[in-house]
Structures are given as structure tokens and as C-alpha cells.
């Protein structure tokens, strides 16, 4: 991993000539993403993210924390004990420079026997599951990290809207498998990361997966663009 996403975050934090990230998926063309967006304040966050932070309680794990904006809000504005993890060393360095007290380079799937009251997975939290097939493994791991009465707050989108209508009034979906299974490519400063799988889950599919893995699933809020926030709990 070249850690280009993290490099962009660290460049922005250290004012090292940051540039836009270029993101491309298997169903969309290259798109520019301003790194500044990852450094947004609470007031600048979408309502789904604000709601997730409002619902946070107790000891918090922020999975895939990126630039650490969600964690910083909880740590600094609400005095929460937050553990912030990301697989990107550069992103974690930026988080530490921003003042996060407990940020570490860590894959959630290899996290030890710690327990949390709230686990946050935001900015398409289902993305790290990669595929529908892998989703149960992630849900079981997340479930194992919950304290009694703990909760998982996760967002995603139903991306069916991105597919063309067919002649019968349905959607024309190419290829095999579930339509939310994409591949994602990130480029930054003329370098390109190896393509990786990225999963968008519609709410019903997430709910079914949760039930199948011993978790309850509650729809908390729907956004303006086919996105939603869900709460999973035992």
C-alpha cells in the first residue's frame, strides 16, 4: 500500500503542497476530492454524521478514522474516551498532530480484546467490508468488540440510483454479484494506489446481514441522497 489517501491527509495537515485526491470506481469516472473536506468541523458535517456523534456514548472506537475529525469532536467537545484506528500510518500521524490522544495504526480485524460502548464507522462505513461475502466476518468481529448494551453506528448508501433504467422500468445492472460491490482506485500527485474492493450496502441488505449475525438493526436517519445511518446492537 502506497498510503496515498493518508499522504494527502498528512500533506494537508503539514501544509506540504496538498493537492486534490482523484478517486475512481468501477461504475464512475475519475472525480476530484478536496482533502479539506476530511478536516471538516462538526458544523460542516452532514446531518447523518452529526446524528451519529450525538448518539455516541461511553468508550468509543472510531474505525477508519481518516483525518480524525469525528474523533476530535467527541474528544474535545464532549470529553469522550476515544480510540481512533486506521490502516494508514500517514493518516494516524496527522491525527496525532491534530491532537488526538489515542490514535493508532490498526486493522479492526486484528484488534485485541478491548471492548467499547460505541463503534463508529462513518463516511460509508460498510466500505471496509469489501464484499457481501466478507460482511459476516466484519459484523462478527465488531460484535465481539462491544460491551453489554454497546452499539455500532454505521452509514452507507443504496447506490441503485447510479444504474440506468432498463426497458421494463427496472434497473440495468451489469456483471455478477451484488450491485453495491465496487472497486475503488485512489490517485494522488501522479501516483496511483492498487485498486481495492469497496462495498455500499442498501439498508435492507445490511439489516438482513445483521440479523443473520445475531445483531439487531435500526434505521436511525435517512439522508438526502440515498444514504442512511443505522444502529446495530445485540
pLDDT tens, per residue, the chain with 234 residues? 999 999 999 999 999 999 999 999 999 999 999 999 999 999 999 999 999 999 999 999 999 999 999 999 999 999 999 999 999 999 999 999 999 999 999 999 999 989 999 999 999 999 999 999 999 999 999 999 999 999 999 999 999 988 877 777 777 776 678 999 999 999 999 999 999 999 999 999 999 999 999 999 999 999 989 999 999 999
Per-residue cell: 78: 464532549
Sign of CA dihedral 40, 184, 180, 151: negative
Instruction: Please report the domains of the chain, with CATH numbers, ordered by start residue.
Output: 4-164+171-233 (3.40.50.150)
pLDDT at 168: 73
CA-based angle 159:223:171, to the nearest 5?
25
179-218 pLDDT per residue, tens: 999 999 999 999 999 999 999 999 999 999 999 999 999 9
Burial tier of 197 (Cβ tally within 10 Å: 0-12, 13-18, 19+): middle
The pLDDT, as a whole number, for residue 23 is: 97
CA distances 182 to 33, 127, 185, Å, are 18, 9, 10
pLDDT at 176: 75
What is the pLDDT at residue 177?
86
Amino acid at each position: 500500500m502506497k498510503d496515498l489517501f493518508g499522504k494527502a491527509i498528512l500533506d494537508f495537515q503539514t501544509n506540504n503542497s496538498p493537492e486534490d485526491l482523484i478517486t475512481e470506481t468501477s461504475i464512475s469516472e475519475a472525480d476530484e476530492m478536496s482533502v479539506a473536506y476530511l478536516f471538516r468541523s462538526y458544523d460542516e458535517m452532514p446531518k447523518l454524521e452529526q446524528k451519529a456523534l450525538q448518539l455516541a456514548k461511553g468508550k468509543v472506537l472510531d474505525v477508519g478514522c481518516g483525518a480524525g475529525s469525528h474523533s476530535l469532536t467527541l474528544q474535545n467537545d464532549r470529553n469522550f474516551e476515544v480510540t481512533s484506528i486506521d490502516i494508514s500510518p500517514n493518516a494516524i500521524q496527522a491525527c496525532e498532530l491534530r491532537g488526538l490522544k489515542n490514535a493508532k495504526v490498526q486493522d479492526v480485524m486484528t484488534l485485541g480484546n478491548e471492548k467499547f460502548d460505541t463503534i463508529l464507522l462513518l463516511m460509508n462505513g460498510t466500505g471496509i467490508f469489501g464484499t457481501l461475502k466478507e460482511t459476516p466476518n466484519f459484523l462478527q468481529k465488531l460484535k465481539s468488540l462491544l460491551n453489554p448494551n454497546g452499539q455500532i453506528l454505521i452509514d452507507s448508501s443504496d447506490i441503485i440510483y447510479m444504474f440506468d433504467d432498463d426497458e421494463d422500468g427496472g434497473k440495468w445492472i451489469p456483471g455478477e454479484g451484488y450491485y453495491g460491490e465496487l472497486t475503488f482506485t485512489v490517485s494522488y500527485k501522479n501516483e496511483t494506489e492498487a485498486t481495492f474492493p469497496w462495498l455500499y450496502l442498501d439498508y435492507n441488505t445490511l439489516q438482513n446481514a445483521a440479523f443473520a449475525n445475531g445483531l439487531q438493526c435500526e434505521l436511525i436517519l435517512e439522508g438526502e441522497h440515498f444514504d442512511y445511518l443505522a444502529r446495530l446492537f445485540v
